[in-house]
A and B are shown apart, each in its own frame.
Chain A
Amino acid sequence: MNKCYINGVASITAQPTTNGKFLEDIISYNDIIFKADNPNYKDFIKPSAMRRMSKSVKMGVTASKMAMEQARLEMPDAIITGTGMGCRQDSEKFLEKILYDDEQFLTPTLFIQSTHNTVGGQIALGLQCKGYNLTYVQSSASFESSLIDAQLMLTEDSNKKIVVGGIDEIAKTSSKFHILNGELKQQPIPNLELLQSKTTGTLLSEGATFMVLDGEKSTKNIAEIVDIEMIYTASIEETKKNIEDFIARQGLKIQDIDAVILGNNGDRQFDTYYQSLQTSIFTNTQQLYYKHLIGDYHVASAFGYWLTCNIFKHNNVPSIVKMNNLEVDEHKNILLYNQYRGENHSIALVRKC
């Protein structure tokens, strides 16, 4: 497998994660659903281009520009995005107009935005990038699907510079449906106490995380994605074995993993996947988490890469993301594992450059 380096990473989340600081200021919420902490989009997007942009497009265009600035990249060879629901707000508005206005006076803009590849297409349009442009829609493995594609592309041609991102937004009505079907908490809880929750369901939020990937070694490299794997369904026991096998395939032992970033989302029923790892193979490994800060959504796991890169850059782990008390002098290998309701598992190894 060819090398896959991260040269830039930016994330817009419910926390102030675009201010250059590393989780120094934390916002606490007491809601089931909470919104992204918006950067000033006008700093990144011309007003004339902005008028038809929905939230996802604004977040995606802005985060991709931030990541490209960091990587000092002007024109990528490919743009690969992942999203669970795409421009959900406009899709919802269009659907409601169909249902409540008897299919009359519908306007095309809402429909056009409802297409899942809108953000990827808009980034390409803005950059005039005529290269490869793909969008994945695979629940909590949407972003990872993009990463696997990018990694494959670098294997085919290591010269490529690829923009990879994940975007999801909250919509007024349809997001709340997930309270009804039990995917979300039934009552608001303080987000920072997510892991103390004894109920099922999680908290929903939104955001965009973008990275610039490159097959070439250079001083721009922040980290290397050594390998990534997606597994659609697996039991708790199978998951443990999958992770052990994954680590072994990298020629590593569990002790070589300096920290593991887990996707615990406070859902009593499915956090057992993480807990069984925390109390077995990773007992002596530093354990980190982040969904109490940014909520859970289909591409929330992309934030794990932002966290990883910032740990490498700052050589420091903010205490707010720690689940146990183990200290590490210097992080070299960080393992990421995520799943959603026992499906769409992803395992990745990221190494410091």
Chain B
Amino acid sequence: MSKGIAITGMGIISSVGATVEENLHSLKAATPGITRLANIETRHRDSIMVGEIKQTNAQLETQLGLEKENNLSRTSMLGIIAAKEALTQASINDIEAHRTGFISGTSVGGMDMTERYYDSYNESLEYIRYIETQHAGSTTGDIAKYLGIKGYVTTISTACSSAANAIMLGARMIKAGKLDRVIVGGTDGMSKFTINGFNTLMILSDEECTPFDEHRKGLNLGEAAAYIVLESDAIVANENKKVLGYVSGWANANDAYHQTASSSEGEGAYLAMKKALNVAKISPEQVDYVNAHGTATPNNDMSEGTAMTRIFGKETMPVFSSTKAFTGHTLAAAAAVEAVFSILSLQENIVFPNLNFKTPIADLSMTPQTTCLEKELDVILSNSFGFGGNCSTLIFTK
């Protein structure tokens, strides 16, 4: 087993809590954050359930002490909240003390502001400050500026696997010695754009989502931001840092099958898991728990389940669950949310439950963990897949 890259801090805001502590509490109590939409006007309000963070933009602005004339999107504000918590937990006071990078995943970026003010730009000057939020990377810039990071800053946008790829890139940069420290994760605010987008694909459930269930009806969209801090062994040793866990394996592969759908044999997912296990020098039998992508769409769960069966074997499937029934599918942030959950699982030795599951998928006969399970956990594998055949796997170890 390779030693991996040390994780020294984490932060999260999701529909089940505005801090790591609150998220942990909800997970342990099996309390989901899936509700009707409150903050966005849409004709689909009554036909979908969402993992929405209930604070309004105005409340977030106040919490962050922003000026009235700021141009931060919801995606940026959520990102700042989570990244700040991660830095605090990692006891980082002087951001410029080491070569510090910031890698953020986002899919919509500032789309919530673009859809709100698009029509007003030609009419009045009042909101033209939001025009630059059209560029998704501007959210990363907002967060970097707030944190004072000036060096290597970049944004990954590979749809729903974005944050996994951000974590992977950060780990590789540290391993190669190109950075000493990097904050990695993702953020996506709820927007009408994504609600309508996923609605056209007819994969939004009108009820609480049911990952890996035979009768699953689709996903619940969510919003969240989550970041983890990765630091070099030298910093950990010199500053006597507390290590929360390690990112030990990572990989990205492409399904090369269809623009949005996953192949029935789950080829991309299979390759991503296989390569990540190779990077971590871990055999499938050593995996104690799989935090699955498990969006609860008919296509994903079937394809992912097939790929997992190919990797682990039907009879030797490790304990697995999807936590999407807690948070909804938080798109580009999902892998970071689930990274935080995986690290919490390692720390607490608890597998968080796959809520709402009743009937195994007929062709797979895989049953996820449906209640909180106390179990010694050393190795956790986490999957995240996105449009464009983008498949990523991360492996976290104690």
Q: Give the interface of A toward B (CB within 8 A).
A: 52, 79, 84-86, 94-96, 98-99, 102-104, 106-108, 111-112, 114-118, 120-122, 124-125, 127-139, 141-142, 145, 148-149, 152, 155-156, 174, 177-178, 180-181, 183, 230-234, 298, 343-344
B207 within 8 A of A: no
Residue in A121, A152, A233 whose beta carbon sits within 8 Å of that of B388 in the complex? A121
Q: How far is the CA of A94 from the CA of B43 in the complex (A)?
A: 16
A111-B196, A132-B253 given as contacts; is B144 within 8 A of A298 (CB)? Answer: no
**Are B389 and A137 in contact (CB-based, < 8 A)?**
no
| Between-chain CB contacts (< 8 Å), 14 pairs | A84-B137, A103-B44, A106-B196, A107-B200, A111-B198, A115-B157, A116-B158, A130-B267, A135-B388, A139-B137, A149-B169, A152-B178, A230-B153, A232-B102
Q: In the bound complex, do residue B165 and residue A85 qualify as a contact, i.e. CB atoms below 8 Å apart?
A: no
Cross-interface CB contact of A117 among B128, B153, B199, B390, cutoff 8 Å: B390
Q: Does B24 sit at the interface, judged by CB under 8 A?
A: no
Question: Could you tell me if A84 and B135 are in contact, using CB atoms closer than 8 angstroms?
Answer: yes
Knowing A95-B118, A103-B196 are in contact, say whether A136-B259 is a contact too (CB < 8 A). Answer: no
Q: Known: A98-B115, A181-B132. Is A234-B157 also a contact (CB below 8 A)?
A: no
A102 B43 Cβ-Cβ under 8 A: yes
Q: Are A111 and B197 in contact (CB under 8 A)?
A: yes
Contact assessment for A232 and B44 in the assembled complex, using a CB-CB cutoff below 8 Å: no
A135 and B156 contacting across the interface, CB-CB below 8 Å? yes
Least Cβ distance of A332 to chain B in Å? 26
Contact in complex: A130, B150 (CB < 8 Å):
no
Taking a contact as CB atoms under 8 Å apart, the answer to whether A108 and B159 are in contact is: no
Q: Known: A133-B158, A234-B150. Contact between A99 and B115, CB under 8 A?
A: yes
A51 to B271, CA, bound (A): 30
Instruction: Give Cα distance in the complex from A106 to B156, angstroms.
Output: 27
Q: Report Cα–Cα, A121/B262, bound state, in Å.
A: 13
The smallest beta-carbon distance between B71 and chain A, in angstroms, is 10
Q: Is the CB of B151 within 8 A of A180?
A: no
- Among A99, A121, A124, A178, residue most surrounded by chain B Cβ atoms (within 10 Å): A121
Known: A103-B196, A125-B256, A130-B256. A117 touches B386 (CB 8 A): yes
* Contacting residue for A139 out of B135, B157, B389, CB 8 A: B135
**Given A112-B387, A133-B389, A180:B128 Cβ within 8 A:** yes
The complex places the Cα of A290 from the Cα of B119 at a distance, in Å, of 34
**Which of B145, B172, B256 has the largest number of chain A CB atoms within 10 A?**
B256
Whether the Cβ atoms of B256 and A95 lie closer than 8 Å is no
Contact of B259 with A118 in the complex, beta carbons under 8 Å: yes
A230–B152 CB distance below 8 A = yes
Beta-carbon contact of A152 and B172 below 8 Å: yes
Most buried by B among A86, A117, A120: A117
**Chain A residue contacts of B387, Cβ below 8 A:** 112, 115, 117-118, 121
Q: Which residue of chain A is the closest to B43 with respect to CB atoms?
A: A103
A124 vs B263: C-alpha distance when bound (angstroms): 14
Q: Are A180 and B271 in contact (CB under 8 A)?
A: no
B107 and A95 contacting across the interface, CB-CB below 8 Å: no
- Report the minimal beta-carbon distance from B121 to chain A, rounded to whole angstroms: 5
Cα distance, A85 to B138, chains bound together (Å)? 11
User: Complex: how many Å from CA A112 to CA B390?
Assistant: 13
Query: Is B140 close to A, CB under 8 A?
Result: yes
What residues of chain B lie closer than 8 Å to A231, measured between beta carbons? 150-152
Distance, CA A139 to CA B256, complexed state (A) = 27
Q: Give the distance in Å from the alpha carbon of A292 to the alpha carbon of B223 in the complex.
A: 42
Task: State whether the Cβ of B193 lies closer than 8 Å to any Cβ in chain A.
Answer: yes
What is the bound-complex CA distance between A64 and B206, given in angstroms? 42
Please name all residues of chain B whose beta carbon is closer than 8 Å to the beta carbon of A141 when the two chains form the complex.
154
Task: Specify which of A108, A124, A137 lies most central, judged by the most chain B CB atoms within 10 Å of its CB.
Answer: A137
Contact call A145/B150, Cβ cutoff below 8 A:
no
Q: A98-B193, A116-B157, A155-B176 are in contact. Are A232 and B268 (CB under 8 A)?
A: no
Would you call B254 and A133 a contact (CB within 8 A)? yes
| Nearest CB in chain A to that of B253: its residue | A130
- Give min CB distance, A104 to chain B, whole Å: 8
Q: Please state if A128 and B197 are interface contacts (CB–CB under 8 Å).
A: no
